[in-house]
Structure 1
């Protein structure tokens, strides 16, 4: 029997696995599952929710869900396993970053890149400030601390996924589903590009410091500092991208 979901897990599921539209159910189901996988909601080695529960959440038939899972299996994102400890396991692992990939992906995105970076610069600092204004429970504080610890302990292969989890956890604790959804969608638009940025030790060290400062400001209820540090953090990523793109 599966364990009951915590409040933060329930909110994540409600947003990531929100109902799809009937007109193109297969395509949107694939998109929802890819979002969960590529943004690190479900990491490599973890399993998708049980088919019955997931089909109900997405408001689709189990036939459509299985077709979507089969498509992801063929693309190398998941691997269904049978047996007592079976399920649909995530096998996705981001490819090793390279400077050439950064330029290629940026050229493919075109004006969408500028739009996504500008939008992110507004909504992520706002989410950090809103979270700092909320009276967080002990469980919510532990959840945020765990996401920070995950980033700090990540290796090169998992760093970007854990970084996504931290940023989305901050948005999740804001209490605004619309804000959280917007940040998740923006992060997904930028996901391939962010994954392509080579990991520079000094930059990662600075990011850790900023992540820590953001979380401490949230815990203190200091909305102004949480916003300011997140603004600097997001702008730092944009500056790094501009550096690689020349």
Structure 2
């Protein structure tokens, strides 16, 4: 199963292109688009909307958008094509994250701590806010994840969509953005380690248990399952990352 055919979650580009709220609009725009590219929410070869449309969606000035697009181009995430059929496109192979030698225990543990705080909070809210229709979409993602445990790029893309989909269950756009940012930082970490199918299968079994807890309105089970899920990733990082 290829990354392009990974199962889709309810996440839409409306999340990626939601209005920028920060006073530092340039930095937040770079972060938003760069993270979306790294997570595959803006896939390789994707053409971005026209500048005017992007400015309207993000709520920023055209000069700010152009600065952000230039920075992303210089960093290797985007490229511009001139002439008929041209525009700004996502590159075929975005740059990789930091080298292993640049990672420190403090850095990656803080990223895991942030993820724990965000995702456990999401699980708590999802219990009281999720609809059955939303949960059925995530059920389908869990089934799809089982089908691609031998193909880590496809698995990771679907895994990201699952977790961002959990945040969407809360109805909070801020939590969706926070979850997306956490997943982007986690992707930078976990691409450094091996991904045995057994580990992926175990992780997806936890996804299924989490959905069952949410569907049963069991806050305690949702929190404990999410905590177990995230701490499992941290243990793997602790064993395989340098330091």
User: Which TM-score tier does this pair reach, normalised by the shorter chain?
Assistant: 0.7 to 0.9
Distance of 2:102 and 2:155 partners within structure 1: 20
Alignment of 1:1-246 (within 5 A): 9=12, 12-13=15-16, 17-21=19-23, 25-81=25-81, 87-91=87-91, 93=93, 101=99, 103-107=100-104, 110-136=105-131, 138=133, 140-149=134-143, 151-154=145-148, 155-245=151-241
TM-score (norm: length of structure 1): 0.75
TM-score (norm: length of structure 2): 0.76
Distance of 2:50 and 2:145 partners within structure 1: 27
| Cα pair 2:11 2:164 within 8 Å, conserved | no
Compared with structure 1, are the counterparts of its residues 87 and 145 closer, same or farther at alpha carbon in structure 2 (3 Å cutoff)?
farther
Residue of structure 2 in register with 1:3 after alignment: none
Q: Which segments of 5 or more consecutive residues in structure 2 lack a partner in the other structure? A: 1-9
Q: CA RMSD in A?
A: 3.3
Equivalent residue of 1:184, what SS? helix
User: How much does 1:172 deviate?
Assistant: 1.9
Cα offsets for 1:50-91 (capped at 9, x unmatched): 422221232322243234323323433234456887653323
Compared with structure 1, are the counterparts of its residues 14 and 75 closer, same or farther at alpha carbon in structure 2 (3 Å cutoff)?
closer
| Cα pair 2:79 2:90 within 8 Å, conserved | yes
| Cα pair 1:105 1:193 within 8 Å, conserved | no
Q: Which has the higher contact order (CA 8 A, sep 6+)?
A: 2
Cα offsets for 1:153-174 (capped at 9, x unmatched): 5533343333222111101211
